[in-house]
Amino acid sequence: MVSAVRTWVLGVCVMLAMLAASSVDARERKVLVMGDSLSVAHGLRPEQGWVALADAKSARYAFHNASISGETSAGGRSRIDVELARVRPDIVIIELGANDGLRGLPLAQLDANLGRMITASRKAGAQVLLVGMQLPPNYGAYARDFQRTFVLVSQRFRTGLIPHFLAPLGTQRSWFQADNLHPTAAAQPLLAEEVLRALDAL
């Protein structure tokens, strides 16, 4: 009789654990986006940007966009603690560094700023997806080292990584606005899909 009761109790415990796990998997995960103009939907209406599109498309993630146009990695580093406390995210997307590269800022500084943001996010209990960038070839060796910085930081901190955010757009001119830097509204769904795939991979 005692053995039967223990078996029943064990079965109930297993069922409760399975239900709890299922509930966690089913709930929306809060995603904090720390980005620049690429995540602000520069030149577009906010609802046309990849963040809004990803938020509308997925029932698994609730996006909180804390991106600022023109933001550098130093700016993100200065704001990360406040945003973590405000949103209390499950996942942090760091899409910063493009403005560092375009200004030719020291890559050691980019490395340190990204590392600080990742460390803060981890301490707050969040996973991290790092979004890498690529500079035009006329930046020479700096462009190569710039893109490599994202890979090395991701490897060191074992984060999720999108090596080159705009890779799905290739060099097709029609995907970009007149400045040849910011994606058009038609290109935004491709970026949203890329991010959602990367989040699922986490």
Q: What angle do CA 164, 126, 154 make, to 5 degrees?
A: 35
Residue 179 a catalytic site member:
yes
Residue position matching structure tokens 């910063």: 96
For residue range 174-197, list pLDDT tens digits in order: 999 999 999 999 999 999 999 999
What's CA 71's distance to the chain center, in Å? 15
Domain boundaries, the chain: 29-201
Of 25, 58, 182, 200, which one is the catalytic site residue? 182
**Backbone phi and psi for residue 194, each to the nearest 5 degrees, phi listed first:** -60, -45
pTM of the model: 0.86
Of 36, 37, 73, 154, which one is the catalytic site residue? 37
Which architecture does CATH list for 29-201?
A: 3-Layer(aba) Sandwich (3.40)
For residue range 67-105, list pLDDT tens digits in order: 999 999 999 999 999 999 999 999 999 999 999 999 999
Residue 145 a catalytic site member:
no
Of 23, 25, 174, 179, which one is the catalytic site residue? 179
Sign of the C-alpha dihedral, residues 63, 64, 70, 76? negative
Residue 78 a catalytic site member:
no
Count Cα atoms within 13 angstroms, Cβ side, for 101.
Answer: 25
